Amino acid sequence: MPVAVFVLGFAVFCLNTTEVMVAGLLPSLSDGLDVSITAAGNLVTVFALGMVFGGPPLTLLLMRAPRKTALVWMMVLFLAGQTLGALATAYWAMVIARVVTALATAAFFGLAASVCAGLVSPDRTGRALAIVFGGFMVANVFGLPLATLIDQLMGWRAAFWAVDILVALCLALVLFTIKRAPAPRGLDVRSELSAFRSGRLWGAFATNALLIGGVFATFAYLSPVLTKVAGFSEGIVPLLFVLYGVGTVIGNIVLGRLADAYTLRVLWLGGAVLAVLLGLYALVASGQALSLVALFLLGFTGLPLNPAMASRVMRLSNSGALINTMNTAAVCAGITVGTWLAGVGIDAFGYRAPMWAGALLALGALATLLLSRITDRHHVERGRPAPAPADLESAASA
């Protein structure tokens, strides 16, 4: 595997840490910016909305730029936004910083996936994407607690500066390791935009949003679930997240290897296991031993579906940056909806609601897969080929 693929994964870890770390810095940000906890929490939403609505237009503007150049530009833009956040003394300045870093992050993710696909042969795309998206997973499992620890030791500004330093290191690595990052052959703005006429592509976006939304509906509230329902002490919760992280790493290795040859099977089985797992977890959440099993399996089955999801999107369209940025936007929209639904559920039904919300969203993802399969059969029965035969979905589901 090219070294550049691992560099991209490290960069994704650094950039995504900024997205998630605010959740662990809320009390400090609230005090430092003289705003309520709720207002500080809205910085998470601001980032997600920036990725959803700002990432695709920015990527469209970068379509004619060489991929390596665009990556460097986005990292420089991110550094500017992150530095503004580290220096912010007013809430409005922090909001601007979050919007800027969100735009850069969304575009970078799409570009990184596109560059990654160009660095390896088509039959190794899933494995390479597993490494790149592994940075996203590591950020959620380890980046957040590390940023929280830095905040406790040196303050929230130090956490922002730490990410700045890491991203600057990543920028240097990108400059030296990515020698060639050609755009996919024959791909231009018109061909990328034409891919969005495919209903199956939008169906894939919906599947991805619902799957990851289901994961985050539970993940976002794991800490109170573990303490208030299972009865674990707050001091042991970071260690429990390590167990979740181990499951995520192992799942990423296993499912990443299967993502190329068995794309749809991975999504079907992963969605079904996720729905059943979260439903059962809601029922047994008060048991500590069973909670440990559920944590590991949630890590194994949830975020590691990312390589298969991205591989399916590329097969249904192309490996261009705009397609991948739209996929990132869809996933962020799913995360926003999933965490909102879980929060509403907690207010109405208590701390088992996030698991039920996650199971419901996973079932919705399975419904989109079923609809896609029915649509394919309808085309075959009418004597027409499926809209995108090159995606190998028929072979993957055979």
CATH architecture under which domain 1-180 falls: Up-down Bundle (1.20)
Separation between Cα atoms, residue 317 and residue 112, nearest integer Å: 17
Question: What is the pLDDT averaged over residues 99-113?
Answer: 89
Instruction: Write the pLDDT tens digit of every residue in 275-334.
Output: 999 999 999 999 999 999 999 999 898 888 888 888 888 778 665 667 877 888 888 889
Amino acid at 95: V
Q: What is the DSSP letter of 68?
A: H
H or E element in which residue 129 lies: helix 125-138
CA-based nearest residue to 57, from 309, 326, 375, 279:
326
pLDDT at 13: 93
pLDDT at 187: 53
More confident residue, 243 or 185: 243
pLDDT band of residue 36 (cuts 50, 70, 90) is confident
Separation between Cα atoms, residue 143 and residue 19, nearest integer Å: 10
Buried residues in 80-115 as b, exposed as e (16+ CB within 10 A): ebbbbbbebeebeebbbbbbbbbbbbbbbbbbbbbb
CATH homologous superfamily of 198-385 equals MFS general substrate transporter like domains (1.20.1250.20)
Angle between helices 263-284 and 288-301 (to 10 degrees): 160
Give the start-to-end residue ranges of the domains of the chain: 1-180, 198-385
CA of residue 123 relative to chain centroid, distance: 23
Helices (H), 350-392: 353-381
Separation between Cα atoms, residue 28 and residue 150, nearest integer Å: 11
CA-based nearest residue to 43, from 18, 69, 66:
18
Work out the number of other CB atoms within 10 angstroms of the CB of residue 236. 11
Q: Dihedrals φ, ψ of 301, to 5°? A: -100, -20
pLDDT at 319: 59
More confident residue, 45 or 305: 305
Instruction: Write the pLDDT tens digit of every residue in 7-23.
Output: 999 999 999 899 878 87
Does the pLDDT of residue 186 top 70, yes or no?
A: no
Name the region of 190 (left: φ>0; alpha: ψ -120 to 50; beta: rest).
alpha
Instruction: Write the pLDDT tens digit of every residue in 232-279.
Output: 987 787 778 778 888 888 888 888 778 777 888 999 999 999 999 999
Q: Dihedrals φ, ψ of 105, to 5°? A: -65, -45
pLDDT at 282: 95
Query: What is the radius of gyration, based on Cα positions, of the chain?
Result: 20
The answer to whether domain 1-180 and domain 198-385 are alike in fold is: yes
